[in-house]
Structure 1
Amino acid sequence: MTDKRYPIIYVRGYAMTATERDETTADPFCGFNVGSTVYRATVDKKAAAQKFVFESPVVRLLADFQYMSVYQNGLDILDEDWKPPPDETGADVEGIPSASVIIYRYYETGSDLLGDGKSRDITAYAKGLNDLILRIRDLVAKREGPPGPEGFRCYLVAHSMGGLVVRAFLQNPALGDAVARQCVDKFFTYATPHNGIDIGGVNVPSWLTVNEINTFNRDKIAEFLATPKINGRVDYLPATALAPERVFCMVGSNRGDYEVAMGASRMFAGHGSDGLVRVENATLCSFDKDGKERPVATAYTYRSHSGYFGIVNSEEAFQNLVRFLFGDVRVDLWFDVESVTLPPDLPKDADVDALYQVELLAAPRGKRWYLSRRVAEEDSPACRTHKELTNPATPEKRSIYLSTVFLSNKARVKQDRPTLAYAMTLGVRVPDYQVNRKFWVDGHYEGSSLFRDTLIIELSPPADAASAEWKVNYGWQTDTAGRATLPTTYKDVIDGKLQFIVPLSSKGAALAAPSITGKVRLAVSAWN
């Protein structure tokens, strides 16, 4: 992993009531310090399940990456009497180190504990973030001297509404200084409602102003972002705000563990959500120079919006966070569909359609968690209809973005292994075929697949930065017993990324109609 450790600024999510704002204000780390304990099955059936403990993002950043908290003698860096902690030798110093975790405590003024108990508009929070970044810049300069040619940099990490606070700061020039925006190196979001919140299938109305709930209305979002809607959506990031490749969206898909309002929230949010934010509303996209839509780096996990099993306090999300911030290899995963065939006994002249659900499980070698998890039962697969995949007028629909994974060469060195490796399980469910908008019963077998296999990928990065000689081996589990033995070559270079093409395995695919054919495409590039 890279040795660059810039300040991490955590921006927490929405606190609706005065009581919740008080609880947030009373928590020094605003929830970033909360961990979780889950259970894993063991070989011994008579023994209790094994505990699996995640300590919390703050503890892990401090322990694994030697970050520091900036609280000192009970004071925060914005307090008038705050003095920096001493250095490793105990000597008095000025400022703070780059490797610092800073909590943006924007709810203090809206709490009864330290403020007037009144919530503010999101624009006020965005302006405050601007001021905090400039304050941190000055403090780091005092400790470490003037920044190099690239200038001061920081990482913004946000949960839920915190991501909208950051986007307002980045996208709306009226809410901050260009100097402060240029300080942002990367932006990571946990379960942010980038396209607002839908309740019962309807977007939160703009007139629902109590406790600023209309913050999640799409018209309101477009207003404070100063960015017009496109096709009724507000989940795109202009390149003028921050380079889209420097942004990552972590998406949750477990509504069952979200207990807010005694479960009422998950009921109204419905399937395909984390209990509050719908899966399709928690991602971002951008547009390239040709006007084509491009997804922002995204990964999925079976976690709820918050709570004991929330997305922030999960090992899966943390591993994506630190690899995005500090990793050195980026892999964008795509599935390019070449053809799909229908069951031969479907009526030939009828109106036929189907929904193909593409599943993905991506796990690094030697780890007990997924970097990305998209499963039909968890309402998170990538979906295409038969008409989309067969319409000559929409060829872009046949290129299906699945996820982005970031990897670390340092992990490879520690394991004394010559390659970076991970497993990618790809599945395409047999769809529910519809004939004249009615379910076709004959020949349907629930739960079966048009394709399902696990691809083992081993990457050997170039020996030096000037070389482009990546070596990539692969092996489908059904063909090579789970070993990466077959070499692949890159087809071309697009946007500085090597595009590796891997054909689907023959054993993992249905041999007769209905069937699907295509290729896995890996866009591999150096990172950081």
Structure 2
Amino acid sequence: MSTPQKLPLVYVRGFAGDTAGINKAVMDPFYGFNEGSTHIRIGPDNEPDFYQFESPLLRLHLDEGYQILVDGSQAIYLNSHATIPPESIWIHRFYDVSASTWSGRPKEFRMETAAEDLLTLIDTIREKSGAPRVHLVAHSMGGLVCRCLIQKILPDLGRDPAECVGKLFTYGTPHGGITFDFGFGMLERLRDTIGINGAQIFGPERMYEYLTPESVADPNGPPEGWDPREMPLDRPFAFPRERVFCLIGTNPADYDVAHGLSAAAVGPRSDGLVQIDNAYVPGAHQAYVHRSHSGRYGVVNSEEGYQNLRRFLFGDREVKAALVGHRLPQRKDTAWQAEVALSVRGLQIVMHERTSAQWCPIQLRDRTRNPTPEGPAETATDTAGAVPLVDTFLCSGLAHPGDTGTMRYALHLRILSLRERDGLLNFGDHLEQTADFDDILVVDVGADGATSVPALSAVWNSAIAGSIRDHRPGGHARGDENPGPDIWVNHIELPDTAAPIVGADARLRLTVTPWQ
């Protein structure tokens, strides 16, 4: 299997607010991409422990050999050098022209202008590096700047975004806008009418303007049912959604104290600013991490964010896990939920985590009663009744020294039931935080990246004698059940204890495909 090509990276920051916020942002040479953190929240003996995350900028420099090139400024460097290396990181400094510290006549920020300037930077980088495309890495509003470029600016110019953009990774981007938990929509209407500090860019009318190409835009505004999260595939020059990754924060409590009002307004199912349901593009890759929108405990300044970013950009295999063949007990008063967590051997963090305590469990529906997709896109069953659990990327070059020939992953699966009576939760026989099924699938994948067919073994923790750390995979690797090329599929039986809950035919379906 070939090693993914290293492409230039362009970082696009988030919303800065008013002129004072913009002035503060432009004082940072790297627009915040160089900020790190030093604490983890839970340590031994209930004491905070020291853990140093250097920053995504420095980590890409150290881990992947990327260079940060300036000569007084990025612009001076680009103007004075005929060639630049593809393994380079660039900051889209779109806020500079709106800062009063540079000029007495700052320009008003406009989303379309920021996207047009991003295209100019991309074209310059491509020309001087010889790279066919660049990867875009964006925080918060920066993801909307990138989508404006991809969905409006480039199509209006008759250019295919896939010809200049390789992949798009977004941290906590409000793909669905920003909404509030109270006010019955009045707060949103007030924001969009007055445009406080330019925040109307997170409302549907303005989003429709900068996410829709002129050729298909309705002059009357967004049609009924228009979803700003969508990246439509039925348009010329549609960008493939499989090239997009959305990192979703689930911790509102750690959003900066100064933003406490914001965190209270958007509600608990959020990262403190962006609600969970607004933080993804339907059909794109997703990972949920218990981090806040920004700050020292934010998604950008986190090991969780970096590890997902690194594997998405440079991984060589994509792995999907889904629950299939399940049949839930026929009880009209019972709702079923699944909780999942993905851990990687050698990392101090959880790569992906969806739990009830973090307001984002997976809602399970019986495939016999709900044979077609329904509900939120990320939890809907497909026509075959599959419930997606995890979608992640493997990088054979990142195998931990202790892996002894394999890369080890652990998928923690819990299934819980909630009883209802007269439309209210019934706690009469309830045991809080107690799952009806709870087990961990331990997966070992061969670390040889030379082939797309993995040597994979999998066993449930309940069948392992002793600690998982001491377990060594034995016997034959699981076989490929799909005869097609470049796709490996295997169905793993659930432990017998799960049969009364999900049925005897329930399986975990693992799918492995090459990733570039």
Structure 1 residues 495 and 213: CA distance shift in structure 2, 3 A: farther
Shift of 1:40: 6.5
Structure 1 residues 282 and 81: CA distance shift in structure 2, 3 A: closer
Pairing 1:76–2:74 present: yes
Where does residue 133 of structure 1 map in the other structure? Answer: 122
Structure 1 residues 32 and 494: CA distance shift in structure 2, 3 A: farther
Q: Is the 8 A contact 1:61 1:67 kept in 2?
A: yes
Where does residue 310 of structure 1 map in the other structure? Answer: 298
Shift of 1:376: 1.0
Where does residue 171 of structure 2 map in the other structure? Answer: 190
Q: Is the 8 A contact 1:426 1:453 kept in 2?
A: yes
Residue 112 of structure 2, aligned match among 112, 123, 129: 123
Residue 421 of structure 2, aligned match among 435, 438, 441: 435
Structure 1 residues 105 and 390: CA distance shift in structure 2, 3 A: same
Which stretch of structure 1 is more off in the superposition, 296-305 or 391-400?
Answer: 391-400
Give, in whole Å, the separation in 2 of the partners of 1:3 and 1:158.
Answer: 21
Shift of 1:265: 0.7
Give, in whole Å, the separation in 1 of the partners of 2:203 and 2:111.
Answer: 12
Q: Is the 8 A contact 1:9 1:157 kept in 2?
A: yes
Structure 1 residues 335 and 505: CA distance shift in structure 2, 3 A: same
Where does residue 258 of structure 1 map in the other structure? Answer: 255
Give, in whole Å, the separation in 1 of the partners of 2:135 and 2:343.
Answer: 25
How many residue pairs get aligned? The number is 483
Pairing 1:141-290 to 2, within 5 Å after superposition: 141=130, 152-172=132-152, 173=154, 178=159, 182-200=163-181, 204-205=188-189, 206-226=192-212, 231-239=225-233, 240-259=237-256, 261-285=258-282
Deviations 1:188-222 (CA, angstroms, capped at 9, x unpaired): 00011111111125663342423221111123222
Where does residue 359 of structure 1 map in the other structure? Answer: 339
Shift of 1:223: 2.3
Give, in whole Å, the separation in 1 of the partners of 2:27 and 2:439.
Answer: 49
Q: Is the 8 A contact 1:130 1:180 kept in 2?
A: no
Where does residue 9 of structure 2 map in the other structure? Answer: 8
Aligned to 2:506, the other structure's residue is in SS state strand
Aligned to 1:423, the other structure's residue is in SS state strand
Which stretch of structure 1 is more off in the superposition, 224-233 or 439-448?
Answer: 224-233
Pairing 1:36-115 to 2, within 5 Å after superposition: 36-39=37-40, 45=45, 49-72=48-71, 74-77=72-75, 79=76, 82-84=79-81, 94-115=82-103
Shift of 1:447: 2.1
The aligned amino acid for 2:480 is Y
Which stretch of structure 1 is more off in the superposition, 299-308 or 106-115?
Answer: 106-115
Deviations 1:464-490 (CA, angstroms, capped at 9, x unpaired): 44xx54332100000234445574333
Shift of 1:139: 2.0
Pairing 1:18–2:8 present: no
Residue 490 of structure 1, aligned match among 469, 477, 480: 480
Structure 1 residues 140 and 490: CA distance shift in structure 2, 3 A: same
The aligned amino acid for 1:330 is E
Q: Is the 8 A contact 1:474 1:485 kept in 2?
A: no
Shift of 1:237: 2.0
Structure 1 residues 81 and 100: CA distance shift in structure 2, 3 A: closer
Shift of 1:300: 1.1
Which stretch of structure 1 is more off in the superposition, 215-224 or 315-324?
Answer: 215-224
Aligned to 1:355, the other structure's residue is in SS state strand
Structure 1 residues 11 and 250: CA distance shift in structure 2, 3 A: same
Where does residue 349 of structure 2 map in the other structure? Answer: 369
The aligned amino acid for 1:418 is G
Where does residue 495 of structure 2 map in the other structure? Answer: 505
Structure 1 residues 497 and 114: CA distance shift in structure 2, 3 A: farther
Give, in whole Å, the separation in 1 of the partners of 2:323 and 2:403.
Answer: 31
Structure 1 residues 186 and 229: CA distance shift in structure 2, 3 A: farther
Residue 473 of structure 1, aligned match among 453, 457, 465: 457
Structure 1 residues 334 and 416: CA distance shift in structure 2, 3 A: closer
TM-score by length of structure 1 reads: 0.84
Structure 1 residues 17 and 134: CA distance shift in structure 2, 3 A: same
Deviations 1:338-383 (CA, angstroms, capped at 9, x unpaired): 111156xxxxxxxx34432221110111221111111110112222
Give, in whole Å, the separation in 1 of the partners of 2:155 and 2:478.
Answer: 49
Provide structure 2 residue ranges, at least 5 long, that are not aligned to the other structure. Answer: 214-221, 374-380
Residue 423 of structure 1, aligned match among 375, 396, 410: 410
Pairing 1:390–2:374 present: no
Where does residue 518 of structure 1 map in the other structure? Answer: 506
Q: Is the 8 A contact 1:37 1:53 kept in 2?
A: yes
Aligned to 1:491, the other structure's residue is in SS state coil
Structure 1 residues 428 and 229: CA distance shift in structure 2, 3 A: farther
Give, in whole Å, the separation in 2 of the partners of 1:9 and 1:167.
Answer: 14
Structure 1 residues 261 and 49: CA distance shift in structure 2, 3 A: closer
Shift of 1:260: 5.7
- Higher strand content, 1 or 2: 1
Shift of 1:95: 2.4
Give, in whole Å, the separation in 2 of the partners of 1:495 and 1:123.
Answer: 42
Q: Is the 8 A contact 2:453 2:486 kept in 1?
A: no
